[in-house]
Amino acid sequence: MFLRQVPNNFYTIPSILLRIFVLLLLGASFFSAFYFSPEREYPIVSSVIEAKKISFIADDNEVAAGFYYKPEPCRNEKEAIIIVPPFPISESIGTFDRYLLDEGYKIASLSLPKKTGYKYRIKHSELFFTVLNSILKNKDMSDGNSQDKELLQTLSKLTGFFEKTEIFLIAEGPYVQTLCDYYNKNPNAFSGAFFVISEEMPLPTGLKEGTYTVLNEKDLKFSENIALFPICFFIQSKENLAGFGDIRGNDILASLLLGAERDLGRQDRIKTVKTFEKWLNLRSSLTIK
């Protein structure tokens, strides 16, 4: 009654269009929040009885070499697995780490050197710019030699942490060639190394004939002879985005931009680490007495 003479534009066409736009915007926001939400992390049921940061001093500064975890029960005290992620370690360990830890393996996640260029100074922007460079086919402008040197120094310190232990390596991403070169110079550094690469990428160069074998995801066949080779290359289809870690479970939008789909339940990722585990059991049966 008192508001009868107050101007009211609630039913005007511009007002109606505005409300429709806001409703569509809210609906799209809710849809995106659910559709692009990350997959649930692989659960760790086993108890972790030891977790420590491994570091060393370089140029009067403390440098992180990696993070070590020991589960209870532990499958074999004589073996340890070093995991080299494609990107610098975040607060949350990846699916490879979680699965192997839950299965009772001692693991250590290598701390990768962070890029020092201006575009990477934004916190947690490493993955974003890597995906952007992949889409635009840009080359990484960072100092590769400096990054490789720092990586190998870190790896050397991490392997030195494990005494009287058979070390196995699993890696993917931009440092595969560097790690293969390291193995050529230090063949006794690992008891075995497992590299995950995309079918679009060529095999690393410089390896001696008879030191490596190749497994293909599309025609996966295991035999006891695989254990004879210290290095194994696991070739995945390009849709699995080998070299991008858990991106298909963590960043769905980035995966779609790269032409891949969500990894439902992280099943593809788990399948990959199970392939590594099968190779590991064959290889360790030969190297661990």
pLDDT value at 17 more than 50: yes
Q: Give the CA angle between residues 85, 186, 273 to the nearest 5°.
A: 30
Mean pLDDT of 271-286: 95
The reported pTM is 0.86
- Backbone torsions φ then ψ of 268, nearest 5 degrees: -65, -40
Q: Which of 287, 32, 27 is nearest to 165 (CA)?
A: 287
In Å, what is the CA distance from 157 to each residue of 56, 271, 279?
Answer: 7, 30, 25
Q: Give the chain's mean pLDDT.
A: 85
Burial of 71: CB neighbours in 10 Å, binned 0-12, 13-18, 19+: buried
Residue 289 scores a pLDDT above 80: no
Residue-level pLDDT at 263: 93
Among 218, 197, 194, residue whose Cα is nearest residue 273 = 194
The closest of 171, 201, 173 to 183, measured between CA atoms, is 171
SS3 79: strand
Mean pLDDT within 171-195:
92
Kindly indicate the confidence band of residue 137, based on its pLDDT and cuts at 50, 70 and 90. Answer: low
For 28, the token pair is 């799209």
**Average pLDDT, integer, range 152-174:** 91
Domains delineated in the chain = 43-287 (3.40.50)
What average pLDDT does range 129-147 have in this prediction?
61
Cis previous bond, 73, omega within 30: yes
Using CB atoms within 10 Å of the CB of residue 170, give its burial: 0 to 12 exposed, 13 to 18 middle, 19+ buried. buried
91 compared with 48, residue with greater pLDDT: 48
DSSP string, 168-189: EEEEESTTHHHHHHHHHH-TTS
Please give the average per-residue pLDDT across 259-281, as a whole number: 94
Higher pLDDT, 90 or 177: 177
Residue 261 to residue 156: CA distance in whole angstroms: 37
| pLDDT of the residue at 65 | 87
Cα(260)–Cα(134) distance, integer angstroms:
13
Strands 79-84 and 61-72, by their bridges, are unpaired
- List, for residues 184-228, the tens digit of each pLDDT value: 898 888 999 999 999 988 999 888 888 999 999 988 888 888 999
